[in-house]
Amino acid sequence: MEIVMAFVCGFLFMSAIYLILSRSLLRIIIGTGLLSHGAHLLILTMGGFGGENPPVLADGVTEYVDPLPQALILTAIVISFGVTAFFLVLAYRSYHELKTDDMTLMKGSEEID
Amino acid sequence: MLLQVVCLFIPLIAAIFMPFLFKKIRNIHTGWFVLFVPLFLAIYYATFVPSISKGETAVVQFDWIPSLGISFVSYIDGLSLLFSLLISGIGALVVLYSIFYLNRKKEQLHNFYIYLLIFMSAMLGVVQSDNMITLYLFWELTSISSFLLIGYWYNRDKSRFGALKSMMITVAGGMMMLGGFVLLSLMGGTFSIRSIIEQAPLFATNDTFVIALVLILLGAFTKSAQFPFYIWLPDAMEAPTPVSAYLHSATMVKAGIYLVARFTPVFALSEVWIWLVAGIGLLTLFWGSFFAVKQTDLKGILAFSTVSQLGLIMSLLGVGAIAYHVNDAADTVFKYASFAAIFHLINHATFKGSLFMIAGIVDHETGTRDIRKLGGLMSIMPVSFTVALIGSFSMAGLPPFNGFLSKEMFLTAMLSVTEFDLFNFSTWAPLFPIIAWVASVFTFVYSFYFVFKTFTGKLQENELPTKPHEAPIGMLISPVILASLVVTIFFIPNLVTDTFVKPAVMAIQPFLYSSPEDVHIHVSAWHGFSPELWMTLGIIVVGLLLFVTLSKWQKYYNTLPEQFTLNRLYDFTVNELLGSWMTRFSGLYMTGSIRNYLGYMFTAIPIIVIATLFIKNAFVVSFEGASPIHLYQIILIFVLVIGTITTVYARSRITSIIALGAVGYTVSLFFVIFNAPDLALTQLVIETISVALFLLAFYHLPKFQKVEERTRFKFGRVFISVGVGVMVTLVALSAHSQKLVTSIAEYYKETVYSLAGGGNIVNVILVDYRGFDTLFEIAVLAIAGIAIYGMIKLRMSRKEKNHESK
């Protein structure tokens, strides 16, 4: 299963980068969303899917799945959420101020070094 | 005797007080206060003369960074003392001259004297430092203070151009020199020049020896305005004339001469050194004298003449190095070369200093330095004329002036080269006296050109900006003193050579002489009907002939195309190559478009990672330890892929937002099947909020534009993203297939209840084992919240915005 998931993660990354290279600001943010999904799944995959049970102590169970990647992903989810929310508002504000969401039009002016 | 080191810094310390003296005491010219500094130094260094002329040395060390072996060492031997006396002595005369040259009310005097004093300190440091690092430090300080002095009238374009040009060239050379010093110190294991010289014979076989040699020579050549680096010197003539007289004739340009003389014992064993120093010196000598006649600006003539005379001294030092290669060098003719170099250095400082001052006086009293407008000043400015005549005749090498003596010795040295048969010298040596003779003829011509075109002929009163008259007496003191030295040295040459030149020659050739008396050279004005005398007579005859016919052939200089001059090359390098070409080159990739930059990154990362993966043979796929695949997993993967493709290809915003939500929920289902309940919960909640946020933004953000990408870029996008995807897959496969260590999770599983008192291992890790992560993750959320609040609430008022946009 891990082998298959490696391909799935690669696919997610590929789609994310494709979106990030686009012109529309909203597409870029969607791309970062896909990128974080890909990264989270990658961490989980690399931890391995072995272990029959969730990492919650229960009677008579000895085989738990690795809890450490899950803790890392939980932290990562929250952080990526914070960043995504910030970016969205930033996109909203910049559209408000600049009247465009086209990345090709958002260039620094030539005069400013 | 720490005073010897402190003396290096006395001008720097004095510089601190100059602004106060200038601002508080307005009635007295600030220069009078400055005058005490070089006077004191000159007297102090004069006290060294008796002991040094016996061949002794004086060393005082003051540790600066002892752990790195860097210290201020004031090492005074014959060479250092000669330079120190030139610096302080001519410094005093120049300060005196500047008091009358610069107007107390119109000029920013404190700036001028601060720069000049910094320069004086730096120059003393250069000639007395025994430590190569501090030598470099002072060397660059001369470049900087010279930059400031050339650009003293900073509101003139030409001053700034000249200052920048000299800075660029000399600092570039200085950096090279530093590289040479570092190589030398690596070879010798010390920064001390004295111990380098002691070990010098061992270096000749070292691989880096020639590199160090060339680098140090580059430093010396740039500073001493040798070919092809002389181009900064004519442009440095925009400086006030006292600066030109001091820096660009007597002191700074001789720093390179000093460096070559000082390092001769280290490098003289190398054939490259002799050829480079002598060859470039001769080339510079000829080039400078040839083009001096072309100049129409008085200071321009003197600048080219300085270049030429520096080339003369340099070539003598190169020929002097031959003495290291012949037996019984102390008794052969080659010993004359180093002697003549030092002797001419003294003579040049005296006559060139006085000539610059005269050029300044002419400029000051007539308002122009253009030789085409000048003429007939002889009867109006008799004193200046006399001084100029003495200086020029000495420069041309005529008796009874000191230039005659050193020019004779120069010819002797150049003739002696023909007797040397090592290093292919037998083939090329006859060129040496020929070039030297031709250059001397041109020297004769421009010396006469300088003095007679200015002071004789017809007075063109209506061409001159101001009515000409003789300079004030104070302005004439310094040139008169220098001119009288020019004559005095002719009549008592052996007193001067015994006191100053022989100890200096001993410093250049320490292996040959054990005391100054060993240098058996007696200078005499009349030495029989030798070849040198006939050469001098030839110079005078041909020179006079050329001078008389000057107007006929002077115009042919202009047939030399302007495009091929070295100044063009410099302008091309600075403006075109470094300026616009580099700007255009960075403009090629610094497009300002973030998509391009992301493209560079996402291209570079996969290339580097995948290349490393295969170069290091790290790519392995192993199915061992992989968990089994279930049908429902395949279905979920199918859903995920469909969702992702929809996100990418959606034409409307709402579709792609909803598809992203679908992907997020599928991911949370993955968390469910992979036994991660906390993750699934969090992912569900967060995905819901995210989608809500996206939908909120949906109302405010514009519709996707239906702009078709150019196919080339679209292909690039696909290519880059496929590259990243492949990289991630390959790395994931290899990493999974070769697990090097087992997980530390066992510890958590065993101790989660006994130590932490909890059952949910993930939660206990988050708040107990690794609680700090959680703390700062909370901080991230808080910061994001505050930032969002700030972005929405804080607006610049219209007024501020207008101000900003200006």
**What confidence tens digit (pLDDT) does each residue in B765-795 have?**
999 999 999 999 999 999 999 999 988 888 7
- Residue A9 and residue B432: Cα distance in Å, rounded? 77
| pLDDT, tens digit (0-9, with 9 covering 90-100), for A42-69 | 999 988 887 778 888 887 777 888 889 9
Q: Residue for token digits 């192993």?
A: B622
Angle at B463 between CA B240 and CA B376, to 5 degrees: 85
The model's pLDDT over B724-773, given as tens digits with 9 standing for 90+, comes to 999 999 999 998 888 778 888 888 888 888 998 888 999 999 999 999 99
Q: What is the CA radius of gyration of chain A?
A: 19
Q: What angle do CA B620, B622, B627 make, to 5 degrees?
A: 140
What pLDDT, on the 0 to 100 scale, is given for residue B176?
94
Confidence tier at A113 by pLDDT (50, 70, 90): very low
Helix ranges (H only) for B321-424 are 335-366, 382-396, 402-416
Please indicate whether residue B602 or residue B628 has the higher confidence score (pLDDT): B602
Tokens standing for residue B570: 């410099």
Which range of residues forms the domain containing residue A19? Answer: 1-51+65-102
Mean per-residue pLDDT, A7-34: 91
> Could you tell me what percent of chain B has a pLDDT over 70?
94
Residue B63 φ then ψ, to 5° = -70, 135
Q: Which of A22, A28, A41, A74 best tests the B interface by mutation, with the highest count of B CBs <10 A?
A: A74
- B267 within 8 A of B184, measured Cβ to Cβ: no
Domain count for chain A, please give it. Answer: 1
pLDDT at B487 over 80: yes
ipTM exceeds 0.85: yes
Lowest mean pLDDT among A85-89, B96-100, B445-449, B516-520: B516-520
- Give pLDDT, residue A111: 45
| CA dist list (Å): B120 to A56, B17, B250, B352, B522 | 80, 15, 12, 19, 33
Closest to A13 (Cβ–Cβ): which among B594, B630, B725? Answer: B725
Cβ distance of B759 and A55 shorter than 8 Å: no
The pLDDT value given to residue B681: 94
Mean pLDDT, residues B601-622: 91
Q: What is the pLDDT of residue B775?
A: 94
In the stretch 660-699 of chain B, residues with CB closer than 8 A to chain A read 660, 663-664, 667, 670-671, 674-679, 682-683, 686, 689-690, 693-694, 696-697
Q: Tell me, yes or no, whether A74 lies in a domain.
A: yes
The verdict on a CB contact (< 8 Å) between B702 and A95 is yes
**Two structure tokens written together for B499:** 């006191």
- Contact B67/A at CB under 8 A: no
Query: Could you report the per-residue pLDDT of B132-163, keeping only the tens digit for each?
Result: 999 999 999 999 999 999 999 999 998 999 99
What's the mean pLDDT in B449-465? 80
User: Is residue B799 pLDDT above 60, yes or no?
Assistant: no
pLDDT value at residue B375: 79
Percent of chain B with pLDDT over 90: 36
pTM of the model: 0.81
Residue B528 pLDDT class (50, 70, 90 cuts): low
Asked if pLDDT for residue B547 goes beyond 70, the answer is yes
CATH for A16: 1.10.287
Q: Chain B: residue nearest A18 by CA?
A: B721
The stretch B300-308 carries a mean pLDDT of 91
pLDDT digits (tens, 9 = 90+) for B375-398: 788 888 888 889 999 999 999 888
For residue A33, being part of any structural domain is answered with yes
Q: What is the mean pLDDT of residues B253-266?
A: 91
Closest chain A residue to B677 measured between Cα atoms? A54
Residues 6+ apart with CB under 8 A from A34: A12, A15, A16, A19, B644, B647, B660, B663
CA distances from A72 to A4, A43, B80, B734, B757 (A): 22, 8, 70, 21, 21
- A81 contacts B690? CB cut-off 8 A: yes
Residue A112 within any structural domain of the chain: no
**pLDDT, tens digit, 9 for 90 and up, residues B171-229:** 999 999 999 999 999 888 889 998 888 887 777 777 888 899 999 999 999 999 998 88
